[in-house]
Chain A
């Protein structure tokens, strides 16, 4: 019985999701800190910038996990313990 790659990918997924979420906030911070609130256009841009950062993060997350999943599937599952 070796390391459970399924659980390992699950843990990596959570940690990666967390890191990407923080990265999105960091990008948001760099992009929009000190913008004035209450202005609909600036607020809209602020939200759009945050959402774009989030979309890029999620896209990267999905592609990396999909690659890992397919790699494990192609290598074949082990029998149950």
Chain B
């Protein structure tokens, strides 16, 4: 047990250190190469280096590789493969703009490395049901689940620091759930990814020095989706990610399907000259988590992000409580 914990801590520390170092490098290099994005939520619309989320993928990959060296556990392979697939799709999207339909469709492929590595657990643990038996259906459900999680993280990357800390909070829940259920793979990888995200958050929080880019958010989403697969704990990750689901689901529902941001005519939120964010008063405007949080009064960007983190914390707590109080057979 001590060996398992030590391996996880060493791997997580390595992931954090690599992420920190690489983010600092990328901040300079991306700006030099003119790879910048416009921060629309700030007065003056400053340009920020975009694509630095790749550092989280690199850091988590180093951490997972170290975990493999220390424990020889096969789950690291599927985790890195899924994250790499997400990074590849994201890098492609950053270059050629895959569009609102092709991008989510491609993310179905995020699960391919997990299937190839034999990481799928046909007996997922479900709230109220216990261990289900889905020996055939699991091969269809996991790709759909991985695509949902990957795209939800991608769509959640809207304000400074909102995505990385929220994903880190969800990782915290998965560390606890993995540890409680004996899901060593989930707990170890969640710790690795969570520490990498915390290292990255220092640079992405308000006022952001770097943006993640699609390469970052899709690889982080893919890595997150891979965490619980080996131990069949996907249902609990989905609960810990409820604010992500709210954001993605409500946007898709209110715009009537898969759309790229630029295809959405009515904006969900408006930003005034002081940088205050408020929901678009037009009743027909799309509904997103940010527009819900700013319904009652305009808020500053850090205030909205803090509230989004609070909601993720609540969801993480619900995920753990669901396991402890409402799940048989673990």
Contact = CB atoms under 8 A, between A and B. Distances in A.
A47 B137 contact: yes
With a 10 A CB-CB cut-off, give which of A4, A10, A15, A40 has the most chain B CB atoms: A10
Interface residues of A, number: 42
Contacts of B278: 77
B287 A65 contact: yes
Interface string B111-140: 000000000000000111100011111001
B296 A70 contact: no
Contact of A80 (B235, B238, B239, B276): B276
A78 B133 contact: no
A44 B246 CA distance: 27
Interface in B207-239: 235, 238-239
B297 A79 contact: yes
B186 to A, nearest CB: 19
Contacts of A26: 128
Contact of B295 (A9, A22, A25, A33): A9
A7 to B, nearest CB: 5
B315 A14 contact: yes
Report the contact-size class of chain B (Cβ under 8 Å from the partner): 35 or more
A71 to B, nearest CB: 10
B307 interface: yes
A44 B292 CA distance: 37
Interface string B282-313: 11000101011111111100000001001100
Given A10-B311, A43-B136, A47-B141, A28 B297 contact: no
Contact of B287 (A37, A43, A66, A76): A66
A14 B246 contact: yes
Interface of B: 126-129, 133-137, 140-141, 235, 238-239, 242-243, 245-246, 249-250, 253-254, 276, 278-279, 281-283, 287, 289, 291-299, 307, 310-311, 314-315, 318, 322, 326
5 contacts: A5-B295, A7-B307, A10-B292, A38-B136, A46-B134
